[in-house]
């Protein structure tokens, strides 16, 4: 079939901000005197809403501490992001190509809404995404398909009509569970992991990519 709509995760897909998120997590753990787990600890947080990521990294939290730490983690990230955000290579041109071709586009992200508008404004894409599904719109984070199913519903298309662009294994799993085709972007995970999770294809960025390359996945 030919796909007719595009759904984008945000962090790691539109903007290459993984280093900023990792730095914010590190600083939060320093402040809370929490030792980070050995190895690739950031995998515990990738693609997950803040309320799910915090206990995975810091252990069980009561509601009051969860709220406090979520606010502090957001403040740390904002301080870092204010120094500048870098788009994933080629993504702005690719999204503009879809706009010119009248391909409906949505964002489906685990980020809080306060992070979405500044990033889209910085990238010059604030006018492109009339549908934005964020952590505030869902009850269950990725890999649950809720965020992607909601995006399709708000676009007014079937899940099967959508191509998703995702950098996280949990996000690929969520999109596949929603019934969507997925292009993996290798800013957070290697290609093999994204393909194993169900991505039809993995790309390092959007340079040279066209809608014709992905619409028949």
Task: Write out the catalytic residue numbers.
Answer: 9, 11
Return the closest-CA partner of residue 182 out of 196, 162, 205, 156.
162
Strand order in 181-185's β-sheet? 131-133, 105-108, 5-8, 162-166, 181-185, 201-203
Dihedral of CA atoms 48, 191, 215, 102 in degrees, nearest 10, equals 50
Sequence-distant (6+) residues with CB within 8 A of 72 are: 28, 31
Greatest alpha-carbon pair distance for the chain in Å reads: 52
Q: Pick from 11, 56, 47: which is nearest to 172 by CA?
A: 47
In contact, 35 and 29? CB cutoff 8 Å: yes
**Strand, helix or coil at 101?**
coil
Q: Quick check: helix, strand or coil at residue 128?
A: coil
């Amino acid at each position: 079939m030919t796909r007719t709509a595009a759904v984008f995760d945000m962090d790691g897909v539109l903007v290459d901000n993984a280093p900023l998120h990792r730095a914010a997590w590190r600083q939060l753990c320093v402040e809370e005197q929490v030792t980070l787990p050995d190895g690739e600890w950031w995998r515990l947080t990738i693609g997950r809403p803040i309320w799910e990521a915090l206990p995975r990294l810091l252990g069980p939290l009561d509601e009051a501490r969860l709220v406090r730490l979520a606010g502090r983690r957001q403040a740390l990230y904002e301080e870092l992001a204010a120094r500048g955000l870098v788009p994933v290579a080629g993504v702005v041109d690719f999204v503009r190509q879809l706009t010119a071709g009248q391909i409906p586009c949505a964002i489906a992200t685990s980020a809080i809404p306060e992070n979405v508008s500044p990033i889209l404004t910085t990238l010059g894409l604030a006018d492109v995404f009339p549908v934005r599904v964020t952590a505030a719109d869902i009850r269950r984070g990725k890999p649950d398909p809720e965020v992607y199913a909601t995006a399709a519903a708000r676009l007014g298309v079937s899940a099967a009509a959508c191509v998703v662009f995702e950098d996280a294994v949990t996000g690929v799993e969520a999109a596949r569970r929603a019934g969507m085709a997925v292009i993996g972007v290798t800013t957070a995970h290697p290609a093999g992991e994204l393909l194993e999770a169900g991505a039809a294809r993995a790309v390092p960025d959007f340079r040279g990519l066209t809608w014709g390359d992905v619409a028949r996945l």
